Amino acid sequence: MRNTLTRFLQIALLLALTACKPSDAPAAAHEDTMVPLRVSILNYSDDYLDAVYVNESWAGSMSAHAGGGKVAGSAEVTHKWDPNYKLTIRWRDESLYNKDHHALYKREVATEPYQQYRPGGVTMLWVAFFPNGVLRLFPTRVDPGHEDFPEGLLEPAFECRRQFPGNPKCFPPTSSWMENPSQRKEEVKP
């Protein structure tokens, strides 16, 4: 009886020890192949973005021809660029919001090519919205306007000004008191 009980305990212990190994292995493999990133939006379009999600993580909202100033949400990419790895982007622009406050567009998007991760490397995922529904993902360690930013893109307002000099759509809307500062001074006098 004692032999049977000892044998049973040895088998139970062996099963308990080996049962932990498979569940630990995928987590370690996942950590070795994925890079966590902060997410920011770049809106090069004329439309206000009411809500943006990356793989179910809220990434914020963004005015037309604006972006880069806020960081919200997170995402992951593979250590080495894989053209088949895609992120799910859901968003709502002002036009869709006016039709249905709860509707979202959805698209599976592969990231633009990036170098294999190394410490100090890729730290940000820029979700870039362009005119005509073009959506691109730029994993990088630098901000728009930096010489190493993909395709030499500038921050959206500056990119708009570069492409359309003097066009008022490139400038954020101003309050009426900002358009006529002398009028504002008169309004605040006691």
Q: Quote the pLDDT of residue 23.
A: 43
- Walk across the sheet containing 86-93 and list its strands: 57-62, 49-54, 86-93, 105-110
- What is the DSSP-derived secondary structure letter of residue 26? H
Q: Quote the pLDDT of residue 17.
A: 44
Query: What confidence tier does 65 reach under pLDDT thresholds 50, 70, 90?
Result: very high
Which residue, 41, 90, 89, is CA-closest to 66? 41
Question: Strands 74-78, 34-43: parallel, antiparallel or unpaired by DSSP?
Answer: antiparallel
Helix, strand and coil percent figures for the chain, each rounded to 5: 35, 30, 35
How many structural domains compose the chain? 1
Structural domain range at position 146: 33-173
Residue 16 in any domain: the answer is no
Q: How far apart are CA 55 and CA 181, in angstroms?
A: 45
Average pLDDT, integer, range 100-114: 95
Residue 112 in any domain: the answer is yes
Average pLDDT, integer, range 45-60: 93
Of 3-12, 100-109, 125-134, 140-149, where does mean pLDDT reach its minimum?
Answer: 3-12
Residue 2 pLDDT > 80: no
Residue 87 in any domain: the answer is yes
Can you tell me whether residue 160 is helix, strand or coil?
helix
Residue 187 pLDDT > 80: no
Q: How far apart are CA 58 and CA 73, in angstroms?
A: 5
Q: Are 109 and 126 in contact (CB under 8 A)?
A: no
Beta-bridge partners for 36? 76
Residue 9 in any domain: the answer is no
Residue 23 in any domain: the answer is no
Residue 8 in any domain: the answer is no
Residue 16 pLDDT > 60: no
Q: Quote the pLDDT of residue 173.
A: 54
Residue 133 in any domain: the answer is yes
Query: What confidence tier does 8 reach under pLDDT thresholds 50, 70, 90?
Result: very low
| Token pair of 66 as six digits | 């604006």
